[in-house]
Amino acid sequence: MEPSSLPHYDLHAEAYAEALLSHDLGEAREKFLAALPRHPADILDLGCGPGRDLAAFARAGERAVGLDGCSVLADVARRHSGCPVWEADLRTAPLPPAAFDGLFAQAVLFHIATAELPDLLQRLRRCLRPGGILYACDPSGAGEEGWADGRYLAFRRPQSLAALYRRAGFDLVEQWRRPPGRPRRQQDWQAWLWRRRG
């Protein structure tokens, strides 16, 4: 297992909290919420950061829980959202089986080495209820992967990444490029909605 990127976030938690709370993800949340199998839904926000999306899910009437390995960001998320937040490294966190209708992973999974991703996707599938939805959005690339500025980064090809999701037991619901409103060549983030198969 690769070392964790979490020390980087511990060192820069305040700057990330400020930047992330002002980042607009309304479009992605709306698509995610519309795809969920029921409401109110049980949602786990993976790598929840300062709780921007947790707070939005709570305002929408959903039952949201956060997960973040950075204790400073987890504390900010609790205060900002009023939701429970688990402190754990996603790669080793104990995820309860069939506990959630939706998993929300914004800018999280690209910190996971490709060699470790199939196992994590299987664990994520198991913690979803049948028909549950996984939203994931990460920067795409041509397969570059490794350490940069204290973080592990994997810029996977969308086709290769889609194959990993399908092998893990997910069916594609929708995909789109981000950020919205920019020319295609400037939309270097790939967003996905996947439904648990079976």
Which portions of the chain are predicted below pLDDT 50? none
- As a whole number of angstroms, the distance between CA 16 and CA 37 comes to 32
Q: Say if CB 152 and CB 114 are below 8 A apart.
A: no
**What own/partner pairs with CB < 8 Å and gap ≥ 24 does 182-188 have?**
188/139, 188/140, 188/141
pLDDT of residue 184: 62
- Domains of the chain, by residue range, sit at 6-196
CATH 3.30.70.260 fits 6-196, yes or no: no
Contact assessment for residue 196 and residue 131, using Cβ atoms and an 8 Å cutoff: yes
pLDDT of residue 183: 59
pLDDT of residue 11: 83
Q: CB-side exposure of 195: number of CA atoms within 13 Å?
A: 14
Q: Other CB atoms closer than 10 Å to residue 61's CB: what's the count?
A: 11
Q: pLDDT tens for residues 88-137?
A: 999 999 999 999 999 999 999 999 999 999 999 999 999 999 999 999 99
The predicted model scores a pTM of 0.93
Give the pLDDT score at 186.
55
pLDDT (0 to 100) of residue 13: 75
